[in-house]
Structure 1
């Protein structure tokens, strides 16, 4: 029987976020409203300080909104949960553990109460293989490249079998070639896993290449949703072919136009 995907799998309703600091209050987000379909890949883009990571942290449950509501699969987001896994720009691997052991920690945390050690090891191995790191499973973080470390972080998140994968500029610290390679791998991984993804990025090409829709944020303070762009490009996507695709370049121009106009307003 074909699975019916939810149109409003993740929902943000009238979300406001104000931070209270020693210097006073700072209104980061105001009246943020949008929903994400199940299985959809969403990118959030905007200038620095527009609240992109704040939106991601709210969905992750790491922050609670000052006003408004957030839902995932029909349930209110009241805190972190294993159905929502986060991949940060800093991979945050424990240096004294191997790649496999770093992934196993997450697996044990989520499934340790209900599964045997053998089952947990199989889950770990499957996640390591999914990101193409079977050959490096027994290596420690200082023995592998930055790109491989980030793949371990993705494997750790996917090993939890999340319904929603949250990515906070996961390739921002990598060189251009490694970044391009991991973007291609992420597309393949997401096609296999089928989970919903939300990614924060500053990279226009990355947003257009990976996304089904791009959420463009206005400048802060009191940032909100400026525009949402549908990326109507067939999958699987091949970057070399898209480089000469007229519609791809049109979408890229639309994002650049939005960001340029916002920069001009900020400068004024």
Structure 2
């Protein structure tokens, strides 16, 4: 399906009347099934707000949002969210945290053994089987994020939404998880939309980079296809002309003049 996630003339305002704050306006975006898209822009441009709209956590003030041809009217198991804070329940083990989501989605139709197998498979996918019976306080920040990703993927979402999932991690752990995420997405084929402030992360992971202009009333300023073959290895890309060109384009957008950029077609 070409337009797996579609946003048509989407706008978001908070409040009403003359005091209303317009966060986003005229957002048109189509994302293909299996595509990896990142949202990047200055602080306050509405990246997280846009992600929350796709997640169904807040209703859009204007426009229509579709996922797999169905209108997004609220949260659903077809869309899973990973936040910067791992949001694990501290009184549950890693396995129990994942199992909680699995039971919520599949508990009415599957037996206990299948639910346990789903939970274990999700932890294996992110390389965390060895910590299944540990509590969040007993593992590192990077490991907690792996468990958070496992919990999101355990419900087999059609779309994985990530809001700066590696932003609070040190650079080495961040690099390891970026590489792990590439493998996970390749293995699952999950459509992924991620908010990031990190230019290198955006270019490394993305099929397309969606650049939002400055807020308030932000809209899409440019969409950049990266055109980089997969699998991607950061050591090789460091000298790749296409990678460097993409990095320079995003850098120029964020830190240079925006006047020359024109809106590009959003179709995949």
Give the 3-state SS of the residue equivalent to 1:228 in structure 2.
strand
- Counterpart contact for 1:219–1:262, Cα < 8 Å: no
Cα distance in structure 1, aligned partners of 2:233 and 2:210? 22
Aligned-residue CA RMSD (Å): 1.4
- Counterpart contact for 1:218–1:262, Cα < 8 Å: no
Structure 2 residue aligned with 1:55: 50
Give the 3-state SS of the residue equivalent to 1:13 in structure 2.
strand
Matches within 5 A, 1:20-99: 20=15, 24-99=19-94
Structure 2 residue aligned with 1:138: 133
Cα distance in structure 2, aligned partners of 1:171 and 1:179? 6
- Counterpart contact for 1:46–1:259, Cα < 8 Å: yes
Cα distance in structure 1, aligned partners of 2:119 and 2:65? 31
Q: CA deviation at 1:82?
A: 0.1
Cα distance in structure 2, aligned partners of 1:184 and 1:236? 10
Within the candidate set 142, 162, 168, 2:157 is matched to 162
- Counterpart contact for 2:226–2:242, Cα < 8 Å: no
Give the 3-state SS of the residue equivalent to 2:15 in structure 1.
strand
Cα distance in structure 2, aligned partners of 1:21 and 1:62? 19
Matches within 5 A, 1:64-213: 64-213=59-208
Cα distance in structure 2, aligned partners of 1:134 and 1:22? 53
- Gaps in structure 1 of 5+ consecutive residues: 1-5
Q: CA deviation at 1:261?
A: 2.9
Q: CA deviation at 1:19?
A: 0.5
Cα distance in structure 1, aligned partners of 2:147 and 2:50? 24
Cα distance in structure 2, aligned partners of 1:238 and 1:21? 48
The TM-score normalised by the length of structure 1 is 0.95
Cα distance in structure 1, aligned partners of 2:145 and 2:159? 18
1:243 aligns with 2:238: yes
Cα distance in structure 1, aligned partners of 2:46 and 2:257? 14
The TM-score normalised by the length of structure 2 is 0.95
- Gaps in structure 2 of 5+ consecutive residues: 260-268
Cα distance in structure 1, aligned partners of 2:17 and 2:28? 29
Q: CA deviation at 1:24?
A: 2.2
Q: CA deviation at 1:262?
A: 5.9
